């Protein structure tokens, strides 16, 4: 089956693998065969595989609140899932995000609704599922339109940190409208500002030592490291969200997980939001602190390519005007 595919593919197992989420993005048939062999070795008789076309393009996180019949779109976001600068390294829970998405426009929102959200609502109803609440569709902006990669019945993290602070609608009223099936009677009011969130994660404490824990998300990581710089007064244009922090008996904040903090800058432009986040990070530290330095750094345009056999030619996704 792999050998006759007219396009590059992604091989996924039904389950998580110790080194990632169980999917291998393949450059070649040989890569795909190697992935199948490796999964077969790991899962034996319980092996279940999905093989799908590999999509290339800019990722977008799409959020909608559903009342069972109607959907209210929330602002879009761009999540930086790769561990290292330049979108290199393994996929992880996310190293930061920006909202709105750099490609955001009224036209794109219409397209996202028509291509992803409306069919999802229709599909849920067609299957007799009475779903209310948030859905988070992870999609790729391809030359043939947005294509869904994943659908989650929850919000995204760290997208929540850049989307929800900009919402000024009364959230309780929205929840009541969901329960009453009256979402169309309400409008989502947002402040229209840009936000940039950078995750501060627990890296290796001593990169020179072969014995040191390698750090998140590469493998084992240290915890219990003292965090300094959290005691600044809150400001309108920058927030610090604790993801994995606890206070010890003396009240000192200490690291307690891989993603430790999310630092969010807010501004009238993406550049201002980004500068404010990184400026605040300069005053925070803990041993082994690691973060990506290029969250929100604007790519001029993302070039996307498709296997020609898939019937789509190379194209460019324009950035937000
Ligand atoms: N930010 C990715 C997720 O929440 O799954």
* CATH code of the domain containing 119: 3.30.470.20
Nearest atom in ligand 1 to the alpha carbon of residue 154 is 4
Distance 211 CA to ligand 1 centre (A): 31
- Confidence at residue 217, expressed as pLDDT on a 0 to 100 scale: 92
Q: Whose CA is nearest to atom 5 of ligand 1?
A: 156
- Confidence at residue 21, expressed as pLDDT on a 0 to 100 scale: 66
Q: Say if 244 falls within a structural domain.
A: yes
- Confidence at residue 100, expressed as pLDDT on a 0 to 100 scale: 98
- Confidence at residue 202, expressed as pLDDT on a 0 to 100 scale: 97
Q: Say if 282 falls within a structural domain.
A: yes
Q: For residues 265 and 29, what is the distance between their CA atoms, to the nearest angstrom?
A: 43
Count up the domains in the chain and report the number. Answer: 3
- 175 & 209 share domain: no
- Confidence at residue 18, expressed as pLDDT on a 0 to 100 scale: 64
- Last residue of one domain, picked from the residues 140, 157, 185: 185
- Specify the 3-state DSSP secondary structure of 218: coil
Q: Whose CA is nearest to atom 3 of ligand 1?
A: 156
Judge whether 86 and 40 are in contact, CB under 8 Å.
no
> Encoding tokens for residue 234?
């809150």
Judge whether 287 and 205 are in contact, CB under 8 Å.
yes
Three-state SS across 239-275?
EEEECCEEECCCCCEEECCCEEEEEEEEECCHHHHHH
- In the DSSP assignment, the letter for residue 157 is T
- Confidence at residue 115, expressed as pLDDT on a 0 to 100 scale: 97
Q: For residues 305 and 56, what is the distance between their CA atoms, to the nearest angstrom?
A: 6
Q: Say if 296 falls within a structural domain.
A: no
Q: Whose CA is nearest to atom 4 of ligand 1?
A: 156
CA angle 277, 274, 109 (to 5 degrees): 120
- Confidence at residue 236, expressed as pLDDT on a 0 to 100 scale: 87
Judge whether 54 and 31 are in contact, CB under 8 Å.
no
- Last residue of one domain, picked from the residues 141, 167, 185: 185
**Residue from 23, 60, 63, 79 to probe ligand 1 pocket by mutation (most atoms less than 8 Å from CB):** 79
- Whether residue 249 is preceded by a cis peptide bond, meaning omega within 30 degrees of 0, is no
Q: Say if 259 falls within a structural domain.
A: yes
- Specify the 3-state DSSP secondary structure of 180: helix
- 137 & 88 share domain: yes
- Confidence at residue 299, expressed as pLDDT on a 0 to 100 scale: 59
- 270 & 203 share domain: yes
One digit per residue, pLDDT tens: the chain, 321 residues?
999 999 999 999 887 766 666 788 899 999 999 999 999 998 888 889 999 999 989 999 999 999 999 999 999 999 999 999 998 988 888 999 999 999 999 999 999 999 999 999 999 999 999 999 999 999 999 988 999 989 999 999 999 999 999 999 999 999 999 999 999 999 999 999 999 999 999 999 999 999 999 999 999 999 999 999 999 887 889 999 999 999 999 999 999 999 999 999 999 999 999 999 999 999 999 999 999 999 999 654 443 333 333 333 333 333 333
59 CB within 6 A, ligand 1 = no
- Confidence at residue 240, expressed as pLDDT on a 0 to 100 scale: 97
- 24 & 67 share domain: no
Q: For residues 8 and 5, what is the distance between their CA atoms, to the nearest angstrom?
A: 7
Judge whether 138 and 97 are in contact, CB under 8 Å.
no
- 235 & 270 share domain: yes
- 7 & 106 share domain: no
- 158 & 219 share domain: no
Identify the domain containing residue 109 by its residue range.
Answer: 58-185
> Encoding tokens for residue 35?
């992935």
- 12 & 127 share domain: no
- 202 & 256 share domain: yes
Sequence-ordered list of residues with C-beta below 8 angstroms from that of 306, at least 6 positions apart, any chain = 7, 56, 142, 143, 312, 313, 314
Q: For residues 90 and 21, what is the distance between their CA atoms, to the nearest angstrom?
A: 10
- 262 & 280 share domain: yes
CATH of the domain at 206: 3.90.600.10
CA 27 to chain centroid, in Å, comes to 23
Q: Say if 89 falls within a structural domain.
A: yes
146 CB within 6 A, ligand 1 = no
């Amino acid at each position: 089956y792999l050998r006759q595919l007219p396009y590059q593919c992604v091989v996924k197992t039904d389950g998580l693998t110790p080194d990632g989420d169980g999917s291998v993005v393949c450059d070649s048939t040989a890569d795909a065969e190697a992935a199948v062999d490796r999964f077969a070795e790991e899962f034996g008789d319980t092996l279940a595989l999905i093989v799908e076309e590999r999509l290339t393009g800019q990722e977008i996180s799409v959020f909608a609140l559903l009342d069972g019949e109607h959907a209210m779109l929330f602002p879009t976001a761009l999540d930086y899932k790769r561990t290292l600068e330049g979108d290199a390294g393994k996929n992880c829970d996310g190293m930061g995000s920006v909202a709105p998405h750099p490609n955001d426009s009224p036209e794109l929102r219409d397209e996202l609704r028509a291509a992803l959200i409306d069919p999802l609502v229709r599909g849920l109803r067609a299957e007799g599922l009475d779903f209310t609440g948030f859905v988070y569709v992870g999609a790729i902006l391809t030359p043939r339109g947005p294509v869904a990669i994943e659908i989650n019945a929850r919000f995204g993290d760290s997208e929540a940190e850049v989307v929800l602070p900009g919402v000024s609608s009364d959230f309780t009223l929205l929840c009541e409208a969901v329960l009453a099936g009256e979402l169309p009677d309400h409008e989502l009011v947002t402040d229209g500002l840009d936000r940039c969130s950078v995750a501060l994660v627990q890296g290796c404490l001593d990169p020179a030592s072969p014995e040191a824990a390698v750090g998140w998300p590469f493998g084992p990581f240290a915890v219990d490291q003292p965090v300094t710089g959290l005691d600044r007064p809150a400001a309108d244009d920058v927030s610090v969200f604790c993801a994995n922090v606890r206070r010890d008996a003396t009240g000192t904040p200490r690291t307690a997980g891989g993603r430790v903090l999310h630092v969010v800058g807010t501004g009238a432009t993406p550049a201002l939001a980004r500068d404010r986040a990184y400026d605040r990070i300069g005053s925070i530290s803990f041993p082994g602190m690691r973060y990506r330095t290029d969250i929100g750094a604007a790519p001029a345009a993302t070039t996307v390519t498709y296997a020609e056999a898939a019937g789509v030619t190379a194209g460019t996704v324009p950035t937000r005007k």
